[in-house]
Amino acid sequence: MTVGTPTVFPFTSVVLATGEPVRFAPGDRVRVSDRRPVGHYRVPLYLRGKAGVVECVYEPAQLNNEEEGYGRNAGGKRHYYRIGVPMADIWPGYAGAPRDTLRIEVFESWLERIDG
Amino acid sequence: MSGAGHTPHPHGAHDHAGDHAAVEDVARPGYYEIMEIAVRELLVERGHIQGAEIHRQIDLLDSRTPALGAAIVARAWMDPAFKARLLADGRGVAEELGVSFYDDTGLIVLENTAEVHNLVVCTLCSCYPRPVLGLPPEWYKLKPYRARAVSEPRALLAEFGTVLPDDVEIRVSDSTSMARYLVLPRRPEGTEDFTETQLAALVTRDAMIGVVPVELPEGRPA
């Protein structure tokens, strides 16, 4: 690079590690995976299969808790996302107000994008 | 009405210390108590940890009380710039004030407003903002609170004496992973002349969990 040439940030040549890039942005519609594997999971059963909206991203990326629970982690880091889900969508016949919501942090591997 | 001993609890919950029978060392230790003693003694015997380290950890936990959270809330009520920074980076601001995060959790401060009322629960276990509030109350750890906070929060809040109109969004945060939540309650009306110290004295643990508002001693609603 010639001295005096303006540097362009951010660098576009840098390759990020798997899981390092943020996959969902605030406002994205997502669904919590409806998987029921045996083992250590932090995604409550009552939320599996429910649709919500990403409120924010928690930085920095964190270890994969499902692997960490068994003491095996090979640098597997991804982000947690705080999502909002209407209470009325979680509980049939929810007795509160239509505006009421649940907020929860969900690990990236448990979120599926809802297109459109 | 929001003092710890006077709050109505979800059924099945224990009450606080004052209602317990005198402590008598007569009952046989339970399964987990025996396991804890055995593991602790083995760890000390084999030199992995020392008794002094255990005492240090107990001192650490004992030094974390709702007074820390209350002081942070009062400062936020007094200083809008501080509040803005607190809401943007709860853990960073708490650390600036000398609160360490020994358990590697985050801290997100949730502001109650005229439109939104926040309630905190951990449905998986008992995740709680211990660095700024200390140990959680018994009822927070029990299943009736954990289940009902996410499924019928308004009925639960009503049992704590907190009835909110339908146009206020109840926002329940289920803290199950890395983040812990501290509710920033609404400042009660009639406290315009209060000092920061006087304000802090009004802020209860239960208000920072989100089950009750902060109220003046006279019992006027916040």
Q: Is B125 in the active site?
A: yes
ipTM of the shown complex: 0.86
Residue A5 lies in a domain: no
Specify the pLDDT at position B90.
96
Q: What is the pTM of this model?
A: 0.84
Res. B11 pLDDT band, cuts 50 70 90? very low
Inter-residue contact A115 to B163 (CB < 8 Å): no
User: Percent of chain B scored above 90 by pLDDT?
Assistant: 80
User: Percent of chain B scored above 70 by pLDDT?
Assistant: 86
Q: Is B100 in the active site?
A: no
Which of A40, A81, A90, A99 is best to mutate for the B interface (most B CBs within 10 A)? Answer: A99
Is pLDDT above 70 for B138? Answer: yes
Residue A1 lies in a domain: no
Residue A107 lies in a domain: yes
Res. B6 pLDDT band, cuts 50 70 90? very low
Q: Is B175 in the active site?
A: no
Domain span at residue A77 reads: 29-113
Q: b/e string for A74-101 if b means 16 or more Cβ within 10 A?
A: eebebbbbbbebbbbebbeebebbebbb
Res. B9 pLDDT band, cuts 50 70 90? very low
Is pLDDT above 80 for A3? Answer: no
Tokens found for residue A104: 């929860």
Residue A82 lies in a domain: yes
Q: Is B122 in the active site?
A: yes
CA distance B90 to chain A (A): 13
Q: Which residue has the higher pLDDT, A4 or B40?
A: B40
What average pLDDT does the segment B89-104 reach? 93
Whole-Å CA distances, A58 to A50, A51, A62: 20, 19, 9
Tell me whether residues A46 and B154 touch, CB distance under 8 A.
no
Specify the pLDDT at position B121.
98
Specify the pLDDT at position A75.
60
Q: Which residue has the higher pLDDT, B58 or B23?
A: B58
Look at residue B123 and give its three-state secondary structure: coil
Residue A14 lies in a domain: no
Residue A72 lies in a domain: yes
Per-residue pLDDT tens digits for A72-92: 776 678 999 999 999 999 999
What average pLDDT does the segment A39-54 reach? 92
For B35, residues 6+ apart whose C-beta sits below 8 A from its C-beta are: none
Residue A99 lies in a domain: yes
Specify the pLDDT at position A99.
94
Specify the pLDDT at position A12.
80
Going from the N-terminus, what domains does chain B have, and what CATH number goes with each?
18-60 (no CATH), 65-209 (3.90.330.10)
The number of domains in chain A is 1
Residue A9 lies in a domain: no
Q: Supply the CATH number for residue A79's domain.
A: 2.30.30.50
What H or E segment, with its residue span, contains residue B117? strand B116-121
> CB-based contact (8 Å) between B170 and chain A?
yes
Find the helix packing angle between B51-62 and B31-45, rounded to 10°.
Answer: 130
Res. A103 pLDDT band, cuts 50 70 90? very high
> CB-based contact (8 Å) between B218 and chain A?
no
Residue located via tokens 């003092």: B3
Tokens found for residue A13: 């040549």
Is pLDDT above 70 for B175? Answer: yes
Give the number of residues written for chain B. Answer: 222
Specify the pLDDT at position A5.
61
Is pLDDT above 80 for B184? Answer: yes
What average pLDDT does the segment A22-39 reach? 93
Residues of A with CB under 8 A from a CB of B: 42-44, 46, 58, 62, 65, 80, 82, 84, 87, 90-91, 94-97, 99-105, 107
Specify the pLDDT at position B7.
44
What average pLDDT does the segment B205-216 reach? 97
Residue among B170, B220, B27, B29 nearest A87 (CA): B170
Is pLDDT above 50 for B8? Answer: no
A63-67, A78-82, B44-48, B68-72: which range is least confident on average? A63-67
Specify the pLDDT at position A9.
81
Specify the pLDDT at position B2.
39
